[in-house]
Structure 1
């Protein structure tokens, strides 16, 4: 084959090669190792959510909205308690994941991942009597060494936050660290009111502006976190009856749990 023909053949072969980013390669690897056959099945969420009712809600949302991660979760409202609950569950037994957090808001409190069982009772679990409710914050102090928190400058632009995410990903994949015997679950970015996260939907231009993370907590997100509501006084209740109910209602308000609500449903977890 003459040199000109060889160059043409080489150019044709290169044109047929499909390039893939490291993020895409990681996602394909995760998908190939997870059970389930469809992206809308809770067990095929990428990365996996080891809380069945939450996983079902997430899968339902992406199916109804016809979106596909990243991010898997975009949070709004009082999202920090939800992040403490989720991350604590991920790094604790029996899941034993390692997780990276990029905290551009400088408000993520690692100590909240470990609950004080003497002061933080859990809500009763649905199901047969005597069924123990799972702890909302099950991580132990020894689990905390498998959480890696990055804090860029408070005034960081989206490019700087994305650079921190890329650095965290490279570190978890290639650097020697204390969590090499654990699976790396993925990355969480907390951007608060800076608006650098994505809430879901929109065109190609908006998708390009999203942070490439598995969970994004910002001013706008499809899963809104808030305290559970306490029902008001019944219709027709007298002043005397209301006064008699005051202490019980105060206890309900004090012990109420949290809920993360979307158009497709809600996920609730215990008192914190």
Structure 2
């Protein structure tokens, strides 16, 4: 945020302090700083191709105030890919996850399972360019697991906002990128009723699926298919993921 914009937001918030409750002030702060419509500022996605899709979608739909991403389908691999990038060098953000589905596995943010290093007795793991986070980065992912239900999720998001802004947590030296809401429930229009900076659930404009692998060519015999089964399995295992939207798609590997 540039200096004039920061002064404008600060003046606006200070003018509202005397006549606003703490909850209203937090809502205003989130709208203006974390990415709402009033200042038209949204968290930046440090994956250029994915950021380009989000920008084109929001321009096409003129949705306001939208989440940065609204993801459906097999969305967890995309969340791991994005959040690992956010918390790792050179970005070094901190991220809040409000997971009403209790499915988010923080250890998946690194490219290999966490193992114990006998020499140091500290967890270690090798990293790929797609999952660049290291074990120490994981402490900057703050996870809330509320019960299912819109009110419970909404309360968790509000509690996370207050904790990140005012709490004595270990991520104060890092910039807070935003909040990812998993399983926030559906509103009247079928969309997410509890909005984070990224929403993931049964309905979203960016749908994640496995990258399609072509089948056996026409006319191949059973014997040929069985002979090539091993090679084909290698191709299937190496397939990546694709996030598709009405304005384009994004493909990546999770290894």
Aligned to 1:261: 244
Give the paired residue count: 221
CA contact (8 A) 1:197 1:217 kept: no
**Aligned: 1:57 with 2:73:** no
TM-score when normalising by structure 2: 0.76
Quick one: distance in 2 between partners of 1:208 and 1:252? 36
**Aligned: 1:22 with 2:26:** yes
Q: How does 1:54-203 map to 2 (within 5 A)?
A: 54-116=50-112, 135-153=129-147, 156-191=148-183, 196-197=185-186
Query: 1:238 Cα deviation (Å)?
Result: 5.3
TM-score when normalising by structure 1: 0.72
Query: 1:165 Cα deviation (Å)?
Result: 0.2
The verdict on how the C-alpha distance between 1:148 and 1:240 changes in structure 2, with shifts beyond 3 A counting, is same
Q: How does 1:177-256 map to 2 (within 5 A)?
A: 177-191=169-183, 196-197=185-186, 206=189, 210-237=193-220, 242-256=225-239
The verdict on how the C-alpha distance between 1:230 and 1:207 changes in structure 2, with shifts beyond 3 A counting, is closer
Query: 1:111 Cα deviation (Å)?
Result: 0.9
Q: Which runs of 4+ in 1 moved over 6 A?
A: none
CA contact (8 A) 1:102 1:151 kept: yes
CA contact (8 A) 1:97 1:182 kept: yes
Root-mean-square deviation (CA, aligned residues, Å) is 3.1
CA contact (8 A) 2:211 2:242 kept: yes
The verdict on how the C-alpha distance between 1:83 and 1:71 changes in structure 2, with shifts beyond 3 A counting, is same
Query: 1:29 Cα deviation (Å)?
Result: 3.3
CA contact (8 A) 2:144 2:156 kept: yes
Gaps of 5+ in 2: 1-14, 114-127
Quick one: distance in 1 between partners of 2:72 and 2:195? 17
